[in-house]
Amino acid sequence: MSRQLAGKVALVTGGSRGIGAAIVNRLAHDGAAVAFTYVASAEKAKSLASGIQSRGAKALAIEADSAEPDAVRKAIAQTVSELGRLDILVNNAGILIRGSVDEFDLADFDRMLAVNVRAVFVAVQAALPHLEPGSRIITTGSVVADRSGFPGASVYSMTKGAVASMTRGLSRDLGPRGITVNAIQPGPTETDMIDDETTRAMVRPLIALGRTGKDIEVASLVAYLAGPESSFVTGAALTIDGGYLA
């Protein structure tokens, strides 16, 4: 078992399922104590935490809606209170609501901005008092920041473009403190967002490798960015898409 993150504490927002759960498992595997937030998947969150604890690692499940700034702040505070510190912040929580511009509901627009963009800023702001030099901030973006690909993705694409831009700006703000800030941009991946075979069959021909990605593959990129070997990587939006953008 790799122990490159031994002694570190991580918080993963939106960590109870899909890519988030894979990230939680990988960071725990690499030696970190991991807190993660969830909203509706209480049973999955409990099962994930129990599984990690059964392997002798520390895991803490926190109910927190990323659309609520106070909930995000409280999750940061609880992580530090119960696990003692914070070294790695992974902003993974995100939602996808599709719709064309002429029918898109403004409430959905506001919620997607709140979860996908504002929550990232709030989490970083709340985490900063606890982050020492060498800490890591990693945000899950998407290849739709560079290529929407299909109708109905304009608002989602906007939020992920904002994540990439924010990452670059934050890297300038926090570089002097020795804190790296990066985003990952997954392409089509086998998660709840692409949960039917019809959609997967439609996107496979657009991917150079001819298949959709796996959550553990995305988690491996997060693990690299969280680890010591990525100390000179900051301000980057790293694509992991099987050649979807090639």
What is the predicted pLDDT for the residue at 209?
96
What is the predicted pLDDT for the residue at 206?
92
Half-sphere CA count of 118, side-chain side, radius 13 A: 16
Q: How are strands ordered across the β-sheet holding 136-140?
A: 59-63, 33-38, 9-13, 88-91, 136-140, 180-186, 237-240
Beta-ladder partners of 62: 37
The domains of the chain are located at 9-240
Q: Which amino acid is at 113?
A: L
Burial of 121 from C-beta contacts in 10 A (0-12 / 13-18 / 19+): middle
Helical residues (DSSP H) of the chain, grouped into ranges? 18-29, 42-54, 69-83, 106-113, 119-127, 154-174, 197-203, 215-226
Can you say whether the dihedral through the CA atoms of 52, 56, 61, 66 is positive or negative?
A: negative
Most distant CA pair in the chain, distance: 52
Can you say whether the dihedral through the CA atoms of 140, 145, 148, 154 is positive or negative?
A: positive
Burial of 190 from C-beta contacts in 10 A (0-12 / 13-18 / 19+): middle
CA distance 42 to 35: 14
Query: Would you state the structure tokens that stand for residue 156, as one six-digit string?
Result: 């989602």
What is the predicted pLDDT for the residue at 194?
62
Q: Which amino acid is at 179?
A: I
What is the predicted pLDDT for the residue at 200?
73
What is the predicted pLDDT for the residue at 195?
61
156 is catalytic: yes
Residues sharing a CB contact under 8 Å with residue 163, sequence separation 6 or more, in sequence order:
116, 117, 120, 139, 140, 141, 142, 145, 183, 237
What's the predicted TM-score (pTM) here?
0.95
Query: Would you state the structure tokens that stand for residue 63, as one six-digit string?
Result: 């109910």
Nearest to 8, CA basis, from 79, 74, 85? 85
What is the predicted pLDDT for the residue at 203?
84
Q: Give pLDDT tens digits along the chain (246 positions).
A: 569 999 999 999 999 999 999 999 999 999 999 999 999 889 999 999 999 999 999 999 999 999 999 999 999 999 999 999 999 999 999 999 999 999 999 999 999 999 999 999 999 999 999 999 999 999 999 999 999 888 999 999 999 999 999 999 999 999 999 999 999 999 999 876 666 667 778 888 999 999 999 999 999 999 999 999 999 999 999 999 999 999
CATH 3.40.50.720 for domain 9-240, yes or no, is yes
